[in-house]
Amino acid sequence: MRVVARNWRRAGGELDIVAYDGGTLVFVEVRSRTGEERGHPLEAVTARKRAQVVRVARLYLHEETSQASGFRFDVVGVTFWSDGRTPTLDYVADAFGVAG
């Protein structure tokens, strides 16, 4: 993937990463946690968060020039460990779509 934007902010939200994967524009939501006491980081991508990401992605598509043939929403979960272990990374491609 080729990253074209990081922390793209507008009123109402932010896109963590925008990248091209071939001809597809990918909006990547990144969530992190230290340990799993508060749950896995992927669990933090709730229906409300997904709706927010979709809204801001629509703004991005409206404001920025894109040669993409399509788009998708990916999610990355990063778990940091207090005992010094290497962080765990979970990547879910095409994690959710756009509802109606």
Tell me the domain boundaries of the chain: 2-96
Structure tokens at 39: 């749950």
State mean pLDDT over 62-86: 93
Q: What is the largest CA-CA distance in the chain?
A: 44
The mean predicted confidence, pLDDT, of the chain is: 94
pLDDT over 80 at 100, yes or no: no
Is this model's pTM higher than 0.95 or not? no
pLDDT for the residue 44:
93
State in words which class domain 2-96 has. Answer: alpha beta
- How far does the chain reach from its first CA to its final CA, in angstroms? 28
